[in-house]
């Protein structure tokens, strides 16, 4: 088992893919009929929410019930979003 920050970073890097992030951004664009930088907070919270909802079972099962600091995981997911969508930030 990986200790400390590494498990949260590993989970974000493996499961929070560019496609997953793009899918969420596209949903917001369709709902709002375009993109504005004012949607960034919504993007961050929606990606995190959808990630936990859709991927939690997968990473808990694969990593054999790791101890996860969800605050650190949220920071790691935010980092992944910034890497995947540098043009937004």
Closest CA to 28 of 52, 13, 47, 54: 47
Q: Using one digit for the tens of pLDDT, what is the confidence trace for 2-23?
A: 444 699 999 999 999 999 999 9
Q: 50 lies in a domain? A: yes
Residue 46: the pLDDT is: 98
Q: Using one digit for the tens of pLDDT, what is the confidence trace for 43-60?
A: 999 999 999 999 999 999
The answer to whether 7 touches 66, Cβ cutoff 8 Å, is yes
C-beta atoms surrounding 16 within 10 Å: 25
Q: 58 lies in a domain? A: yes
Residue 1: the pLDDT is: 38
Q: Quick check: 27 pLDDT over 60? A: yes
* Domain range enclosing 49: 5-84
What's the whole-model pTM score?
A: 0.90
Q: 89 lies in a domain? A: no
- Please give the tally of structural domains in the chain: 1
Q: 33 lies in a domain? A: yes
Q: 75 lies in a domain? A: yes
């Amino acid at each position: 088992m990986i200790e400390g920050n590494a498990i949260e970073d590993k989970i974000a890097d493996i499961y929070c893919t560019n496609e997953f992030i793009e899918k969420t951004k596209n949903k917001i664009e369709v709902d709002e009929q375009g993109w504005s930088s004012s949607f960034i907070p919504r993007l961050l919270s929606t990606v995190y929410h959808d990630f936990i909802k859709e991927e939690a079972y997968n990473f808990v099962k694969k990593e054999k019930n790791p101890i996860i600091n969800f605050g650190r995981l949220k920071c790691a997911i935010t980092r992944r979003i910034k890497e995947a969508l540098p043009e937004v930030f």
